[in-house]
Amino acid sequence: DAKTTQPTSMDCAEGRAANLPCNHSTISGNEYVYWYRQIHSQGPQYIIHGLKNNETNEMASLIITEDRKSSTLILPHATLRDTAVYYCIVRVYSSNDYKLSFGAGTTVTVRA
Amino acid sequence: EAGVAQSPRYKIIEKRQSVAFWCNPISGHATLYWYQQILGQGPKLLIQFQNNGVVDDSQLPKDRFSAERLKGVDSTLKIQPAKLEDSAVYLCASSFPTGGDTQYFGPGTRLTVL
């Protein structure tokens, strides 16, 4: 039931910015966009989330388009340790509470 | 701050056997989730607890899966009897105080059913 579309995989060079796109054209006005990543053999790790405005924290920046139909996660200086599967998720309200519905994500490989 | 703890990290069983997984959420987190992650897929929610009550178990295969959170803290997920298709990573997550807040995940338990 994922409401997002992401590329299956992408490569980026160590030290360069990594821009991860996500389409969520059916997002509703009060639904947040969340990003998680999952490094091999670990549980998913929270990165960032946003509603309308662009957001930045110590890990990444999130750019959401004005119509909210797409967003981009930016890792400003990718390192080898950023190699992971990145999930873009629209948080929805169902069955009495908010839910995260994970898709297959984007496998990001950072190359030296 | 300690993260979500899970045990065991790995488990191998034969089909039709039983298995149980344990989760200790982050202190003070009222909401606890169990997810199943099959190889190559994203995690899928099995059950959500708010304190010791079930909020959502609509995706839990109740004929073989059960879960409890008796005192509103630790939780146990059980499979009885296991099938080959239950081979997956079982992830526990917690949030404070509801699903509207960020979920934090444990390392998971990798189950292999032979």
Q: Which residues of B touch A42 (CB under 8 A)?
A: 107-108
* Model confidence at B3: pLDDT above 70: yes
User: Per-residue pLDDT averaged across B40-60, rounded?
Assistant: 93
The model's pLDDT over B68-89, given as tens digits with 9 standing for 90+, comes to 998 889 999 999 999 999 999 9
The model's pLDDT over B4-40, given as tens digits with 9 standing for 90+, comes to 999 999 999 999 999 999 999 999 999 999 999 999 9
- Strand order across the A70-75 sheet: A18-23, A70-75, A61-64, A55-56
d(Cα B5, Cα B22) in Å, to the nearest integer? 8
Q: Which of A95, A101, A106 to mutate to test the interface with B (most CBs of B within 10 A)?
A: A95
* Model confidence at A1: pLDDT above 70: no
Distance, in angstroms, between A57 CA and closest chain B CA?
Answer: 14
The model's pLDDT over A34-93, given as tens digits with 9 standing for 90+, comes to 999 999 999 999 999 999 989 999 999 999 999 999 999 999 999 999 999 999 999 988
* Model confidence at A31: pLDDT above 80: yes
Q: Which residues contact A64 (CB under 8 A, 6 or more apart)?
A: A33, A50, A51, A52, A53, A54, A70, A71
Reading the block at residue B33, the tokens are 């989730």
Residue percentage of chain B with pLDDT more than 90? 87
A32, A92 contact by CB (below 8 A)? no
* Model confidence at A29: pLDDT above 60: yes
* Model confidence at A2: pLDDT above 60: no
